[in-house]
Amino acid sequence: MARAPDAALFERLYRACYEDLLRYALRRTGQPETAADVVADTFLVAWRRFDDIPADNGRAWLFGVARNVLANQHRAARRGTDLAARLRHELGGAIVTAPEAPAEISAAFATLSAADQELLRLVGWEGLSAEELAVALDCSANAARIRLHRARTRFAEALRSPSFTK
CA dist 48 to 65, 137, 155, Å?
12, 19, 37
Residue placing its CB nearer to another protein in the complex, 76 or 85: 85
Amino acid 53 reads I
Number of residues located near another protein, criterion CB under 8 A: 66
Does residue 44 bind another protein (CB under 8 A)? yes
Instruction: Tell me which residues in 124-153 interact with another protein (CB under 8 A).
Output: 124-125, 137-140, 143, 152
Residue from the set 55, 74, 78, 101 that interacts with another protein by CB under 8 A: 101
Q: Minimum distance between the CB of residue 162 and another protein, rounded to whole angstroms?
A: 18
CB 46 within 8 A of CB 10: yes
CB 155 within 8 A of CB 112: yes
CB 154 within 8 A of CB 112: yes
